[in-house]
Structure 1
Amino acid sequence: MSGDASFEDGAERPLNLGALDLDDLKVISALVQDAVFPITEMTYDRKARRFVLLINRFRWEDTAKARHAPERVQALLAFDSVLGVATQGLERDDKDTVLSLLTMEWEAGEAPAGKLVLTLAGDGAIRLDCEALDARLKDVTRPYVAPSKQAPRHEA
């Protein structure tokens, strides 16, 4: 049988996680490391104070890696209580740009406020000015075989 795997193949379920503190954020940050997304899949709703990315994340948590090719899954990475968004090193006019998320770090301000910095490959960054840390990660599709058929690697 060929084709994409399903969560059930690995007795796994889609992720649906929230982060309200640094420990939670570290878990989500690890799960979205090396996620890729087109620049067009970033949305900031100022009125709702919500910033959302539709990402294609590598399934680092996949317990069945030995039985099938590496997988990705589309997921929503959403942040609430966002007061403003700034970007650095991004060509927002180039609609063909694909970004790769490396890390997410919280810079505490006057509690509970702070800044959430999403560091991208190639020296790009997205900074969210937040009233409080409020992040969610939710898988929205079935897993699919990673186009590269390899796990992301970083040079030491």
Structure 2
Amino acid sequence: MAVNLLENAPALRLHALDSEDLALLSAHLQDALVRVGDIVYLPAKRRFALVGSRFDWSAEMEGRLERCRSGLHFEGVERVRCQHVSRDQPDAILDLLAVTFEPGPEPPGGTIRLTFAGGAVICLDVECVEAQLCDIGPRWKTAARPMHQEAAAASSR
């Protein structure tokens, strides 16, 4: 399959330092496709990172259907817990639905939750919210806009 690469599109660069910032970052990452093998936790650096292909919701509002390679990382990560993520299947694809923050008993610490379709969840216990999202690679046209089961059920009524 040939990929139609697009040039001169603005690269997204976002920093999140609180739960409101993280909500904005989450909106841009909704429906990002992440290969399990492109997820890493570096305990010595207390960093969690992933690379994915995010659907560009801003371009969609302008009538363009595009995806872009993007990197996301979190600092100050003390522990990572995974549910329904098979590390032994590095080519499996996860569909990111949301990134949220749950404050812990000792602010500004808490848990960042990455929720994926199909019940997969990655929880990051963090000192505080400190995340960065950057477009790092090519941008290409995609054939379809992501659709969620709720939206599909509503459109069939």
User: TM-score under structure 1 normalisation?
Assistant: 0.89
Q: Provide structure 1 residue ranges, at least 5 long, that are not aligned to the other structure.
A: none
Alignment of 1:51-130 (within 5 A): 51-62=48-59, 65-66=62-63, 68=64, 70-109=65-104, 110-130=106-126
The yes-or-no answer on 1:150 pairing with 2:140 is: no
Question: Per-residue CA shift, 1:27-71, capped at 9, x if unaligned?
Answer: 1000000001110000111011000000110001116742x4x11
Task: Give the residue type in structure 1 aligned to 2:4.
Answer: G
Q: Specify which of 31, 37, 40 is matched with residue 28 of structure 2.
A: 31
State the identity %: 35
| AA aligned opposite 1:44 | Y
- 1:3-27 Cα shifts (integer Å, max 9, x gaps): 3222x3xxx4201110001111111
- Contact 2:60 2:66 (C-alpha < 8 Å) held by counterparts: no
Residue 58 of structure 2 aligns to a residue whose secondary structure is: coil
**Cα distance in structure 2, aligned partners of 1:129 and 1:106:** 10
Letter of the 2:5 partner, please give it: D
Aligned residue in 1 for 2:153: none
Q: TM-score, normalised by structure 2?
A: 0.88
Is there any run of 5+ residues in structure 2 with no aligned partner, and where?
151-157
Aligned-pair Cα RMSD in Å = 1.6
